[in-house]
């Protein structure tokens, strides 16, 4: 199959919600190739503990690329323990300027329980305005649902779970097999 005929990998929705002193990152388990579900139980949300400080990360995009970025983030956090913002900015700078890293196709949502960021290959380290952020194929659906659900009495985990359920009902590249990680400030 020629490169221009490759149907492309799809099938990730990751949401990050900060509410009530907790941050939750939830991700679905679907990986699709074109119109085919390749795997429905992938684990795209991970807890890492570089330098003894817990960080939760969720990724969308190529799995190998995301693992490469997670390893780089871990190295940055080991060099600057407890400084997620600094490590995230350093990763984004490397990602934007390094010729090898520039080819990586993934995005990350990361949190240490206090800060919540989206890191992109364009050199962005974005903090959500409304304490909800989402990436991936169903990211816009999850983001819209999450923002609407923030107004109620739901806690961070329930907002994330319900937003992901709504995204799964709308986006064919999102399923209901969730991995959910919670971290407190």
Catalytic residue among 12, 13, 133, 182: 12
Q: Which is it for strands 125-126 and 9-10: parallel, antiparallel or unpaired?
A: unpaired
CA separation for the pair 15, 180 (Å, rounded):
10
Give yes or no for a contact between 65 and 39, defined as CB atoms under 8 angstroms apart: no
Q: Tell me if residue 12 is catalytic.
A: yes
DSSP state of 21: T
Q: How many residues are given for the chain? A: 185
Quick one: which of 56, 66, 43, 29 has its CA closest to 117?
Answer: 56
CA separation for the pair 100, 96 (Å, rounded):
10
Quick one: which of 12, 4, 5 has its CA closest to 140?
Answer: 12
φ, ψ for residue 74, nearest 5 deg: -60, -40
Give yes or no for a contact between 47 and 23, defined as CB atoms under 8 angstroms apart: no
Catalytic residues: 12
């Amino acid at each position: 199959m020629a490169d221009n005929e490759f149907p492309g990998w799809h099938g990730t929705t990751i949401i990050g919600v900060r509410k009530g002193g907790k941050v939750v990152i939830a991700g679905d388990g679907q990986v699709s190739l074109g119109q085919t579900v390749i795997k429905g139980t992938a684990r795209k949300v991970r807890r890492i503990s570089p330098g003894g400080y817990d960080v939760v990360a969720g990724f969308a995009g190529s799995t190998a690329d995301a693992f490469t970025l997670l390893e780089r983030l871990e190295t940055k956090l080991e060099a600057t323990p407890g400084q997620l913002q600094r490590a995230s900015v350093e990763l984004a700078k490397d990602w934007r300027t390094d010729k090898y890293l520039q080819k990586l196709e993934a995005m990350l949502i990361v949190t240490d329980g206090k800060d919540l960021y989206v890191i992109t290959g364009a050199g962005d380290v974005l903090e959500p305005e409304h304490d909800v952020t989402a990436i991936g194929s169903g990211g816009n659906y999850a983001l819209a649902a999450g923002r609407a659900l923030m107004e109620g009495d739901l806690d961070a985990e329930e907002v994330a779970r319900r937003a992901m359920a709504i995204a799964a009902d709308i986006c064919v590249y999102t399923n209901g097999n969730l991995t959910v990680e919670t971290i407190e400030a």
